[in-house]
């Protein structure tokens, strides 16, 4: 059963129980009062009847001895006369025998009523029959001249009292029906008011349990339901915050490992490239250069792996800068030299215009940044030259420019997003994760610098870095 139905049923139930109890009490009180009034009335009538009968008989008799005969002959008349004042059937007895009856005696019942028997002891007595048509039996002694005791009995119909009792009960039944209907209407309205906030809370929790973390309960009232809604909302806020934090951490972790695997690829390619060259060449100078690059890229890789181990031990997935005064010109020359082998495969040559600049950067990260940009120009541009210009007024300015295919302006906005590639086709000959430029952007922002990328389709791409 729904809560709403329970509330309404409870209200109607309480009301009906109250009406039934009240009805019983009130109808009993009024009925008792009415019976009492009748009793007093009959008492009064019996006193009047006794006086009247005595007077009547005494007036008519010449001596005491005439009384029995007079009573026998006049009892019928007296009963009929008294009936008119009492408004009920009147009987007059002498001992067990009925002398007169205001109504025709239909069955000659020999047994007399117990109330009449009571009058033999000079007491009056009464009895009220039960049932739908009640009758009041009242009997009182009539003593004539202290010698003869007769009985006068009233058989008085209680139809009017019964009717009143019936009316009272009917009134309560009608009141009960009307009140129940009112309670039904008012109860529905009130229970709707009570239930609406509960329903809203229920809706919110259901939505939340289905994964809608933004679902909150409306708070309508300041009662217990209102408090519950507030508690739920606070709990939902906490859970939401915790999940966002967890997601953020997970995202950060994923980014870290993606970037790491991305960056470890470049030294490996360089090492494999120069190893290949070593097999083929006899030129001592080329051998020397190859070994130098294999050694330096190998060391860089080792450093990367060590820092990865360190960070994973600390559960910290943020690359920390290890800034130091760095000869940027030399760093750029080394990078170009190490990428020389790859550039040659694409028939591209570097043109360096490098001013001697010494600046405080994280040398490994700066190297990654330059490698990623040059790697793109080599892979994508089909340019003949890559111009690398380094200058410094008070800030470091590095420009890397190619004159190749360029990038469609509609793609420029998204180019720095992780996993974004202009040519998404799987058959693309050029391998790449779409991570290079997003890493470049992160490294630049870690150095509090700016990056500008301008590109003209079929005209080339220019990347400017200012630190």
Ligand X SMILES: Nc1ncnc2c1ncn2[C@@H]1O[C@H](COP(=O)(O)OP(=O)(O)OP(=O)(O)O)[C@@H](O)[C@H]1O
Q: Give the footprint of Mg ion on this chain (CB under 5 A).
A: 376, 436
Contacts by 39-42, CB closer than 8 A, 24 or more apart: 39/126, 39/136, 39/138, 42/86, 42/126, 42/136, 42/138, 42/154, 42/156
Tell whether residue 262 is a contact of ligand X (CB under 6 A).
yes
* Token output for 343: 């550039």
First-to-last CA distance in the chain?
A: 72
Residue 423 interacts with ligand X (CB under 6 A): yes or no = yes
> Given the rule CB under 6 A, which of 154-162, 211-219, 295-303, 374-382 is the region that contacts ligand X?
374-382
Minimal distance, residue 349 CB to ligand X, in Å: 16
Least Cβ distance, residue 405 to Mg ion (angstroms): 14
- State the binding partner of 435 from ligand X, Mg ion, none, CB within 5 to 8 A by kind: ligand X
C-beta closer to Mg ion: residue 187 or 436: 436
Which x/- pattern, by CB under 6 A, does the window 378-417 give for ligand X?
--xx--------------------x-xx-x-------x--
> Toward Mg ion, which CB reaches closer, 161 or 376?
376
Interface with ligand X, residue 46, by CB under 6 A: no
434 binds, among ligand X, Mg ion, none (CB under 5 to 8 A by kind): ligand X
Residue 370 contacts which entry, Mg ion, ligand X, none (Cβ below 5-8 A, type-dependent) = none
Work out what residue 366 binds among Mg ion, ligand X, none; the CB cut-off runs from 5 to 8 Å by kind.
none
Regarding 183 and contact with ligand X (CB under 6 A), the answer is: no
Determine, following the binding rule CB under 6 A, whether residue 93 of this chain makes contact with ligand X: no
Stretch that binds ligand X, among 23-31, 48-56, 138-146, 419-427 (CB under 6 A): 419-427
Q: What would the x/- binding string for ligand X be over residues 211 to 250, using CB under 6 A?
A: ----------------------------------------
Q: Which does 422 bind (CB under 5 to 8 A by kind): Mg ion, ligand X, none?
A: ligand X
CB of 295 to ligand X, least distance (A): 24
Task: Choose among 22, 381, 337: nearest CA to 175.
Answer: 22
Looking only at residues 445 through 464 of this chain, which bind ligand X when binding is defined by CB under 6 A? 461
* Least Cβ distance, residue 388 to ligand X (angstroms): 13
Q: Binding residues for ligand X, per CB under 6 A? A: 262, 372, 376-377, 380-381, 402, 404-405, 407, 415, 420-423, 432-438, 461
């Amino acid at each position: 059963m729904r809560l709403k139905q329970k509330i309404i049923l409870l209200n109607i139930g309480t009301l009906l129980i109250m009406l039934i109890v009240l009805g019983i009490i009130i109808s009993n009180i009024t009925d008792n009062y009415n019976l009492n009034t009748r009793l007093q009335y009959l008492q009064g009538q019996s006193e009047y009847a006794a006086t009247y009968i005595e007077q009547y008989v005494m007036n008519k008799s010449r001596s005491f001895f005439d009384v029995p005969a007079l009573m026998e002959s006049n009892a019928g008349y007296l009963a009929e006369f008294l009936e008119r004042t009492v408004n009920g059937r009147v009987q007059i007895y002498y001992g067990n025998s009925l002398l007169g009856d205001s109504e025709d005696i239909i069955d000659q019942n020999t047994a007399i009523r117990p109330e009449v028997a009571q009058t033999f002891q000079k007491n009056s007595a009464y009895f009220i029959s039960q049932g739908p048509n009640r009758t009041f039996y009242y009997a009182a002694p009539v003593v004539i001249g202290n010698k003869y005791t007769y009985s006068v009995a009233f058989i008085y119909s209680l139809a009017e009292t019964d009717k009143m009792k019936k009316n009272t009960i009917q009134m309560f039944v009608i009141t009960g029906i009307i009140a129940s209907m009112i309670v039904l209407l008012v109860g529905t309205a009130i229970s709707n008011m009570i239930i609406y906030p509960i329903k809203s809370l229920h809706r919110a929790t259901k939505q939340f349990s289905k994964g809608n973390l933004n679902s909150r309960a409306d708070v309508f009232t300041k009662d217990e339901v209102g408090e519950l809604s507030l508690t739920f909302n606070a709990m939902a806020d906490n859970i939401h915050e915790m999940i966002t934090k967890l997601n953020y951490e997970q995202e950060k972790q994923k980014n870290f490992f993606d970037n790491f695997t991305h960056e470890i690829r470049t030294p490996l390619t360089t090492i494999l490239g120069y190893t290949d060259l070593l097999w083929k060449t006899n030129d001592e100078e080329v051998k020397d250069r190859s070994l130098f690059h294999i050694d330096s890229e190998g060391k860089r890789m080792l450093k990367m792996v060590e820092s990865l181990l360190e960070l994973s031990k600390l559960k910290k997935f943020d690359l920390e800068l290890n800034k130091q005064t760095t000869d940027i010109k030399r760093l750029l020359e080394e990078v170009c030299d190490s990428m020389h082998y790859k550039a040659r495969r694409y028939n591209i040559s570097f043109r360096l215009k490098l001013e001697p600049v010494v600046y405080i950067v994280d040398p490994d990260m700066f190297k990654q940044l330059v490698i990623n940009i040059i790697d793109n120009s080599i892979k994508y541009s089909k340019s003949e030259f890559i111009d690398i210009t380094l200058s410094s007024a008070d800030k470091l300015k590095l420009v890397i420019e190619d004159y190749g295919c360029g990038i469609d302006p509609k793609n420029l906005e998204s180019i720095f997003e992780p996993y974004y590639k202009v040519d998404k086709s799987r058959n693309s000959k050029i391998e790449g994760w779409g991570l290079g430029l997003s890493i470049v952007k992160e490294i630049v922002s870690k150095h509090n610098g700016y990056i500008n990328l301008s590109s003209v389709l079929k005209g080339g791409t220019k990347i400017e870095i200012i630190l």
